[in-house]
Amino acid sequence: MSDKLEFMSAQSIHCTANVHVGRDEQYEERWFKGGSKNETLHLGTLFWNNEFCACSVGLNEQQTGLYEVADAALHISLVKPQTATWQALGPWVKRLVRRSDWTVTEQPEVWYCSAVKVFKRNLNLTSSFSRSTSLSSQIDEPDTTVKSVQELLKLYPKLTEVPQTLWAKTKYDVGLIKNAEPVVITPKSSFRPRKAQYPLKPEALEGIKPVFHSLLKAGIIVPCNDSPVRTPQPDDWRFVQDLQAVNAAVVQRAPDVPNPYTILSQIPSNCKWFSVVDLANAFFSIPVHKDSQFWFAFKFGDRCFTFTRLCQGFCDAPTIFNQTLKNSLDSLVLSQNSAICCYVDDIILASTTQQQCEADTIKLLQHLAAEGHKASLSKLQFVKQSVRFLGHDISAEGKQLSVDRISVIQSLPKPVTKKQVMSFMGMCSYCRTFIPNYSLLEAPLREMTLSPGLTASSKVNWTPEAERAFVEIKLALQTTPVLGLPDPTKPFVQAVDERQGCMLSVLMQAHGDRLKPVAYFSAKLDPVAAGLPPCLRAVAAAEKAATASRDLVGYSPLTLLVPHAVTHLLSQHKTSHLSTQHWLKYNTVLLEMPNITVKRCSPLNPASLLPLDTDGEPHNCVALTNELCTPRPDLKDTPLHNPQLLLYVDGSASRDPETGRNRVGFAVVTDSETVVSGALPSNLSAQAAELKAVIEACKYATGKSVVIFSDSRYVFGVVHDYGAIWKQRNFLTSSGAHIAHHKLVSELLDAILLPAEIAVCKCEAHTKKTDSISLGNARADAAAKRAACNTVCSLPSLLCVKTPFLQVSEMQKRSSPSERAEWKKAGCTVKDGVWTCPGGRPCLPNCMFPYFAKLSHGQDHVSKGGMIAQVTKHWFMKGFSNYSQNFCKQCMICATHNVGRGLKMEQAAHPLPNGPFEHLQMDFIELTPSEGKKYCLVCVDMFSKYVNAYPTAKQDSAAVAKALLRDLIPRWGISQKISSDNGTPFVSTALKQIGQYLGIDMRQHCAYHPASGGAVERENGTLKNKLSKCCAKTGLGWTKVLPIVLMQMRMRERPKNQLSPFEILFGRPPRTGIGPIRGPVPDAAGCDDLMLSYCKNLSSALISVHQQVKAALPQPAGEPLHDLEPGKWVVVKDFRRNRWNKPRWTGPVQILLTTQTAVKVEGRATWIHASHCRRVPEPEETNP
C-alpha cells in the first residue's frame, strides 16, 4: 500500500444512512423513533485495493427505509488516499457490489476482479451500532482564502485609499452599522416557544466551538443569566436552536427584498466595467434591542447564551437588513454613468469606463467603512470587465449562468424521493429564463410528483418521459445563451407561441442589425384556457407572456409577435366563446395597455421561438374558431329562409304551493299546436328543462329544415358558444368536476346534427307583444307550465297489481260479522258478492292485515304513514292504522335504525353534601395556546359552587393527579367523592389507586350525558365567556387573566341561596371595593378580644350559612324517575356510530338493575342513563 493513505480511526468508524443539507424533520422523526439503543448491522463483504478499503453493510426490513443516500451503497469506510474524500467510497462500493466477474484466488475465501483490480472477502459478521446524528461544518478558524493586503495593493494601488477597518480579519469578524435602529420583535401573543435541540455527536460539538468562541469574543453572543421567559422550573431555560418556532410566534413584517429574477435589469446595458462587494456576516452588523434579545436565547454546554445581533434564519432578517442597507447608502453620491444594485449582502457597481468604475468603487468602499460595515477581501471583484453576481457572469455582452452553478446541477444524481425531485426542479427553475421551452421540458417531472399518495419521503416511479426530461434539462443547461441586459430606452419585441397547453416566449431587443434575447419565459396555462381552441389559446398565451415580462419591460414599448390574429379575435369578432372574466383580462392587457402592440407574424421556430422566413400554412383565426366552437358548420343564429318547420320551445320550473315540490316541464309548439311536451323529475332546474325542450325539437325535426326559437340565453350560449368548447374539455370545469347538466348538454350536441338545416334563435321572453314570434313563445311557455303540472309516472309496485274481484270475494268471506257491520256503517255496499266503499275500492278484511302489513312495510322498512298510504290507495279498511303502528313497534330493525327518542324523564339531583369540598366535579376545557398551556382543568365544589381552575399543557391523568396532590387536597382536605365524565384523563389506573389510598369515591357520570355533570358544565361555559371578554379587554393571554376571572366567579352572589361561594367558605362577605368600609377603629389593646369574638361570630355565621345553602340545594330523587324495571327489554342509543349504515340503537338487551336515573343492562359494564333507552317488546325465541 501507499504511504499517503488515511485510515479511519476506531472512534470514528460509522455507517452513514442519510446526508441532508439543512433540517429534514420528517426523516429525523423516523430516525429518532428508534431511540438511542444499540442496533445490529450485518457486515457483508470487505473490498480493498492499493488505495481504498471499505465494507458493505446489509439492513433488515425495519432499517431499510432509513437509508437515503443517492448513488452510493451502504458501507463502512476504512481506508482512502489523502487526496480523496471519504464520500468517494460510497459509489466505489456500489459499483463493486454490482459486479459479477469475480474469480477465486489461491486463498478460497478471497476473490479478485481483474477488470478493476480489486479484492473482496465475504465476512458475514454482525456488529452493534448506536444511532446518532452529526452536524458537518466547513468553517475553520483562520480565513485561509483571504488574500494579503500587500498582494492586493500591488494589483490595485487605489485600494490604499480604503480604510483597513473595512476588511474582515477572520470569517467571524463583524461590523456594526452606524445609526442602525435596534431590532424590536413584536410577538403575536404571550406564548413563548421552547424547542429542544436534537442530539449531536461529540465531534460536531467540537467543530462548533471555534465558531461559538469567535462570536462570543466579538460580543455577538453574550451570557444570558436572567431570562424574562418564565418556565415551570427555575433552572429550565427556553432552548431554541431552530428559529422556525420563533418565526411562527412573532408578527412578521411586510417583505421588502429585491426580486433576484429582475434585479439585474437595473444594470445599464451600456456599462462595461463592474465591481462586486460581498459584505461579511451582514446580518450580525445590526443590533437587537435588549428587550428582544431573549428570542434568540439558546443553551451551549451548561450555560445559557443569547444573540445581541440579528440572526440568520429569522424570518424578518432579509427585510430588516435590506432596509438598513438602503438607508446606509442613501447619502452615497456616485458619478452620473454608474449604478449600484444590492441583493441582501451582495453589491454590484457598474460603470461605462474603467476610470469611472475604479473611482466610484473606492468611493463605495470608503462609504461602507465609514458606516461600520465589514467586507470580505477574498470575495472582492475589483474593476473587471466580467464579474460573478448571484450565480451569473455579468459582462458588457450581457449575462449568462456561471460555470459553477451549471456544474452543480450537472453533477446532481438522479433523484429518488419526491422531495429530491422537487429540489432538483427548484434549482433548475432558477435558470428557467435561460432555457427555451422550460415548462414543456419539466412537465413530465412535475406530473411524476403529482401521483396520488406520494409524501415528501416517498420514492417516485420514474417514467420514460421523466427520464428523457431529466436528461434534456441537463443538456439544455450546457448550451445556455448569453442574454442581453434590458435597456429601458429601447423598445422590446416579444415572440409568443402556445404548445401543449404551455405559453412559450422570448423577450428581445435590437442589438445592431439583429434581435438579441433578453429572457425566455414559459408557463402552463390554466385548465380553462388550455381547453380553448388553438387560436384562443394563443390569446391566453399572449396575455400570460406580457404579464410575465412586465417586470423587465416596465412601460417601455413592447411589440408582441403572435402567429394568430389576436387583435381581430378580441376586438372585431364576437367574444361569446370566452367568459366575461377572461375576455376582460385579455382585452385589458393586450389591447388597452398603451405601450403594448400586438402583431401577427409567421409561425415560430420551435427551437429559437423566432418567426420563420416562410409563412407556413395560412389560416383564418375567426373562421377556424367558429368551426371548432360550433356543433355543426351550417348552424345559424338567424332564421332560415323558408324553413319546413318553425318551432318554439320553453321549459318551466316552479314550486307547488300545496306540496312544496318542484314542478318541472317542457314543451315544443308550432304556430297551431303542441307537438311535444312532458313533465320532468322534480330535481331538475329550469335550465335543464330548456335543454330538454331543444333536444326534443331537434329530434322532431330530423331530416328537415327547422328554425327553433328559445327565450333562454343559457341554451343559446350552449348551442352557439360554449357547448363545443365544453365537449373538448370532456365537460369538466377548472376544478376537475363535471359542469351542470353535462349529460343533457352532450345529448343536445348530438341532437343538433339530426335536422337537415337548423337555426337556433334567441327571442325575448314575456313581452306581451302580438307578433308571431312573441305569440309562439307565449304558447310554448303556457304549454310547458301545463306539462309541469302533470306528475311524472312512477314505477308500479306490488300493490298496484289489480286483483280480480273473484279473489276479493273469497278474501271477504273470511271477514267476521262485526267487520261487515263496520263496513256497512261506513257506507259500503255489496255488488256481485264484493264489498266496496263509496269510492269504489274493495274492503280489506282484518285477517289479511298481516300479509299486507308485511308487504307494504317492505325491504326498506316503510313507516306507519307510508304503509297506510300504500294500502288505502287500493283498499278500504278499518283498524289498519293501529295494526301498522304495532307492526312497526315489533320490527327490531326499525327500532335500532330509526332516529327516535329515548325516555322522557325529569332531571335528578346529586345526593346532598354535608359541607364544603365533600363532593367535587371535574372536567377539562380546551382553549387557545397560551404560555405553553392549551387546556384547563375545572373543579367545582358541589356545596358552595366554589371554582378552582388549573392551566395544563396536556389533557391527561397526570394533570388531574397533579392538581389533586399539589393544590386541592393540601388546601381543602380530602373529599369524600369526586365525579367526572368517562374521558381518558379520569379513568386511568393511577387515579383509581389515588382514590383507593385516600378513601375517595371516584365516580364517572353516565356516558354521553353531559347533564349529569351540569354544575361543572355550567361553570365551564361561564369561565370561557368571561375569559374571552377579559382577554379582549386587556390584550393578555387567558393564563394571565384567569385569576381575575376566578375571583369574580367566587365572589359573585348566586341567586338560589343569595350567597357567594366566598361567603359560604369564609363566613363573611368579600371586600370587592364597591361598598363602604365598616368596622371600629383599630386598637392594639383589643386584639385578643377581637380575635375571640371573631371566632365566635365565624362559627355561628358558618352554621347559619350552611343551613341556608342546604335549604337551597335541589333535593335528590327519592323514587325512580323512569318506569323501566328489571327484566324488561330496551334498545340503547349508540353514540359511537361512525358509519351511515350502522344501527342508531343497539340491542335489544334485558335490564338487570335500576336506580333513580340509570339502568344496568346485560352485556354492558357501565351504567346507562335511562334517557338513552327505548322500550321494545320482548324478542321472539328463535329455534336453532
Position 234 scores a pLDDT of: 33
Residue 768's Cβ-count burial label (10 Å; 0-12, 13-18, 19+) is exposed
Spatial contact of 135 and 204, defined as CB atoms under 8 Å apart: yes
Position 196 scores a pLDDT of: 67
pLDDT at 1128 over 70: yes
Give the pairing of strands 705-710 and 674-680: unpaired
Q: Tell me the three state secondary structure of residue 707.
A: strand
Report the alpha-carbon distance of residue 873 to residue 349 in Å, rounded.
95
Position 495 scores a pLDDT of: 92
pLDDT at 616 over 80: no
Residue type, 132: S
Adjacency order of strands within the sheet including 38-48: 5-7, 75-81, 53-58, 38-48, 118-130, 110-113, 103-104
pLDDT in tens, 417-476: 999 999 999 889 888 899 988 999 999 999 888 888 888 888 889 999 999 999 999 888
Report the alpha-carbon distance of residue 220 to residue 214 in Å, rounded.
9
pTM of the model: 0.54
pLDDT in tens, 1071-1081: 776 666 554 54
Position 792 scores a pLDDT of: 47
Secondary structure of 115-155 in the HEC alphabet?
CCCEEEEEEEEEEEEECCCCCCCCCCCCCCCCCCHHHHHHH
Report the alpha-carbon distance of residue 693 to residue 452 in Å, rounded.
42
Cell numbers 394563443: residue: 538
Position 996 scores a pLDDT of: 78
Q: How far apart are the first and last CA of the chain?
A: 86
For residues 95-108, average pLDDT: 86
pLDDT at 749 over 60: yes
C-alpha dist (Å) from residue 423 to 341, 478, 681: 28, 19, 54
C-alpha dist (Å) from residue 60 to 14, 33, 35, 124: 17, 16, 17, 14
**Contact partners, residue 736, CB within 8 Å, separation at least 6:** 527
Confidence of residue 387 (pLDDT cuts 50, 70, 90): very high
**DSSP-assigned beta bridge partners for residue 664:** 653, 680
Cell of 223: 451570557
Q: Tell me the three state secondary structure of residue 730.
A: coil
Lowest mean pLDDT among 332-336, 354-358, 494-498, 1106-1110: 1106-1110
Spatial contact of 344 and 257, defined as CB atoms under 8 Å apart: yes
Residue 572's Cβ-count burial label (10 Å; 0-12, 13-18, 19+) is exposed
Please calculate the CA angle 789-793-798 and round it to the nearest 5 degrees: 145
- Ordered alpha helix ranges (H), 790-911: 805-812, 817-825, 849-857, 864-872, 880-890, 892-897
Position 803 scores a pLDDT of: 41
DSSP letters spanning 964-1001: IIIIIHHHH---SEEEE-S-GGGS-HHHHHHHHHHT-E
Confidence of residue 182 (pLDDT cuts 50, 70, 90): very high
Position 137 scores a pLDDT of: 45
Cell of 743: 349529460
Q: Tell me the three state secondary structure of residue 46.
A: strand
Spatial contact of 449 and 460, defined as CB atoms under 8 Å apart: yes
Report the alpha-carbon distance of residue 157 to residue 151 in Å, rounded.
10
Mean pLDDT taken over the chain: 81
Position 760 scores a pLDDT of: 93
Count other C-beta atoms under 10 Å from residue 361's C-beta: 27
pLDDT at 1103 over 80: no
Q: Can you point out the beta strands (E) in 735-866?
A: 757-762, 829-831, 834-836
- Ordered alpha helix ranges (H), 576-631: 580-590, 621-629
Position 32 scores a pLDDT of: 67
Distance of CA 749 to the CA centre of its chain: 39
Report the alpha-carbon distance of residue 851 to residue 310 in Å, rounded.
87
Position 286 scores a pLDDT of: 92
pLDDT in tens, 908-964: 566 677 778 888 888 898 888 888 888 999 999 888 889 999 999 888 888 888 888
Position 800 scores a pLDDT of: 36
Domains annotated for the chain, with CATH where assigned, are 5-130 (3.90.1740.10), 149-396 (3.30.70.270), 403-482 (3.30.70.270), 484-579+592-597 (3.10.20.370), 645-789 (3.30.420.10), 799-890 (1.10.340.70), 919-1069+1097-1112 (3.30.420.10), 1117-1184 (2.30.30)
Position 906 scores a pLDDT of: 64
Give 233's DSSP letter: S
Q: Tell me the three state secondary structure of residue 749.
A: helix
Count other C-beta atoms under 10 Å from residue 16's C-beta: 18
Cell numbers 382514590: residue: 995
pLDDT at 1183 over 70: no
Adjacency order of strands within the sheet including 386-389: 386-389, 392-395, 398-401
Count other C-beta atoms under 10 Å from residue 401's C-beta: 21
Each residue of 999-1024: b (16+ CB within 10 Å) or e? ebebebbbbebeebbebbbebbebbb
For residues 983-997, average pLDDT: 75
Report the alpha-carbon distance of residue 524 to residue 527 in Å, rounded.
9
Report the alpha-carbon distance of residue 1084 to residue 585 in Å, rounded.
89
CA proximity to 449, closest of 468, 426, 413, 422: 422
For residues 291-305, average pLDDT: 81
Report the alpha-carbon distance of residue 1028 to residue 686 in Å, rounded.
49
- Phi-psi label, residue 898: left if phi above 0, alpha if psi -120 to 50, beta otherwise: beta
Residue 208's Cβ-count burial label (10 Å; 0-12, 13-18, 19+) is middle
CA proximity to 1105, closest of 920, 944, 911, 912: 944
Please calculate the CA angle 902-908-911 and round it to the nearest 5 degrees: 145
pLDDT in tens, 652-681: 998 877 667 788 999 999 988 999 999 898
Position 961 scores a pLDDT of: 87
Give the pairing of strands 705-710 and 645-655: parallel
pLDDT at 147 over 50: no
Residue 238's Cβ-count burial label (10 Å; 0-12, 13-18, 19+) is buried
Position 806 scores a pLDDT of: 47
Higher pLDDT, 201 or 263: 263
C-alpha dist (Å) from residue 921 to 960, 980, 1057, 1167: 12, 6, 20, 18
Cell numbers 441583493: residue: 343
pLDDT in tens, 198-218: 666 666 666 667 777 777 777
Lowest mean pLDDT among 266-270, 583-587, 597-601, 986-990: 986-990
